[in-house]
Structure 1
């Protein structure tokens, strides 16, 4: 058995309501396309099962991932082959559709309920452990949306409530209606904006943090640097993987290569280890379509870093040297900013 497979995956608590998950989760989105070509269904199921057998119990999906809800359907089929009581299942609602680079969001109580019931059917489960509002509909008061989710908790259809890509003001207002267990945000070495307001607020309120894209959409795994991007990957439209930007970002990757050699690991493992070391209330959810990458991600738990190491890693990736904006700023034509006013949440279409 490979050494990475022997790693004991620690448990962490998200929020103050009792949700305990594996410190490393699995983002399932890529199993049905988007980042790359979808893998065959049996391969996707085998990856989920393999992750569970190696100690990962926290699985993340959404009703918008894949054509015709393909991702939830895939995850549901995998769950039928696993002990449900040992799984922490997260899914999301709120992104109604994506078309022509336009994201349509909905957050009405009626829509939230219908989405939850649809996800329960597709996943083949009686309850969702962690149910996120995927994107914020600023035309609907967050109190109304969370009020409906609170009812779903009371009915036993949802255990814990989460938010994804929400502003500090929205998080605070939502938490006043019902405890928010986790906030999911993009967080990696080259995307650290949440350190300014979001992380301190979550810790003030006792909310867990779930970083998605902890490897910078695969950049720290070598995408666009040591391997070419697949022609059908949406990363081809990511500003940081484009032309001169990626050439400039390769300098950052080279610095990380040198540090990875020092720590006896890969660049991806070092980047993921950095995220894992940001606190005991953080559970990143890297995704993959390959068992070898799953094993490598688990191996990142073996990488131990001191405060000095963490600073050295940050210094190797100065944010003012990262070329190109976040994918949202390009793909969805929006300005991704945090503000104390709910109107400054992600400005997405609600039509």
Structure 2
């Protein structure tokens, strides 16, 4: 597995990371605990070292699952990226974000316990808290770095101005944000700002929550699947978006790879400072994704991909309207 560094101050990690959210809670379909743990093990054995989670994924279940999966592994052999601060009530309903310094330390203490570790490698607020200056939040994480409980500060889904303010308090290793062929808003202001400041990018939603995996079909969502409420999967939008996937499939066939591999390789090709996260819930999906790390795209490939899925060609927002307001950038 090739490696990349998360910015000029962050850790060196595998060129592809593992996003663990789908392994808990049924957001993308009913998970299989045994298969999830086996997938984590397979990823580590294949050289994947970056594992991403959030303390609010299935109300802490995801961290406990990873704690079990990582038990007995050399702690220096993997990098844990953890998001915090999202508030949820009974029924798992989201109810805001709490980034107060005292909340930062509280959330971290619970995460360390659930994960069974003495430190988190990259710690980041899941979203911006409009009631708390980002300087205060980053300052609290910096205190936890000084105390040995955290190694690096990360950010998630914030705009260029917030990145600058945060970076002025403490060096930021990376920004985690959605980036895919369907979601390219970061290219306007955010990505140039990251590169100016020497900050990396970990890209989630690289396969559009399965929409551009090459496996999705209209009407596929099951009860409880969050995609049933996501505009890009809605009737009238999903058919248009799947037509883009079919155009992409022709490019993939010419390169003797799958649509998913091509979509992952495209994000990785946007720069050596970008690490795509693979949201694989099974070993089969992981096995399909891993070859993307070695798939090199030439100028002709990139031109054909751009023609198949031009910037801004996706139909529908990437989140329901209620969530769009919490994002630093749009689609």
Task: Provide the aligned C-alpha RMSD in A.
Answer: 1.9
Query: How much has 1:18 moved relative to structure 2?
Result: 4.5
User: What is residue 193 of structure 1 aligned with on the other side?
Assistant: 185
- Structure 2 residue ranges without an equivalent (≥5): none
Q: Is the CA contact (8 Å cut-off) linking 2:15 and 2:276 kept in structure 1?
A: yes
Aligned equivalent of 1:175, options 156, 159, 167: 167
2:81 matched to 1:93?
no
Query: How much has 1:19 moved relative to structure 2?
Result: 0.7
Q: Is the CA contact (8 Å cut-off) linking 1:150 and 1:178 kept in structure 2?
A: yes
User: What is residue 13 of structure 1 aligned with on the other side?
Assistant: 5
| 1:317–1:105 Cα change, 3 Å | same
2:258 matched to 1:266?
yes
Deviations 1:269-325 (A, max 9, x none): 111110111111111111111211101100112322112321321221123431111
Matches of 2:18 and 2:71, distance apart in 1: 17
User: What is residue 253 of structure 1 aligned with on the other side?
Assistant: 245
User: What is residue 217 of structure 1 aligned with on the other side?
Assistant: 209
| 1:24–1:138 Cα change, 3 Å | same
Residue correspondence of structure 1 range 47-62 to structure 2 within 5 A: 47-62=39-54
| 1:240–1:338 Cα change, 3 Å | closer
| 1:316–1:335 Cα change, 3 Å | farther
Residue correspondence of structure 1 range 264-343 to structure 2 within 5 A: 264-327=256-319, 329-330=320-321, 332=323, 334=325, 336=327, 338=329
2:69 matched to 1:78?
yes
Matches of 1:232 and 1:49, distance apart in 2: 27
| 1:179–1:335 Cα change, 3 Å | closer
2:225 matched to 1:244?
no
User: What is residue 101 of structure 2 aligned with on the other side?
Assistant: 109
SS in 2 for 1:220: coil
Moved more, 318-327 or 14-23: 318-327
User: What is residue 131 of structure 1 aligned with on the other side?
Assistant: 123
Matches of 1:224 and 1:24, distance apart in 2: 22
TM-score, scaled relative to structure 2 = 0.94
Q: Is the CA contact (8 Å cut-off) linking 1:64 and 1:97 kept in structure 2?
A: yes
| 1:243–1:133 Cα change, 3 Å | same
Q: Is the CA contact (8 Å cut-off) linking 1:13 and 1:20 kept in structure 2?
A: yes
- Structure 1 residue ranges without an equivalent (≥5): 1-8, 340-351
Q: Is the CA contact (8 Å cut-off) linking 1:101 and 1:331 kept in structure 2?
A: no
| 1:141–1:44 Cα change, 3 Å | same
Query: How much has 1:227 moved relative to structure 2?
Result: 8.0
Matches of 1:108 and 1:57, distance apart in 2: 30
Q: Is the CA contact (8 Å cut-off) linking 1:263 and 1:303 kept in structure 2?
A: no
Query: How much has 1:336 moved relative to structure 2?
Result: 4.2
2:20 matched to 1:28?
yes
| 1:263–1:103 Cα change, 3 Å | farther
| 1:151–1:320 Cα change, 3 Å | closer
Matches of 2:140 and 2:154, distance apart in 1: 13
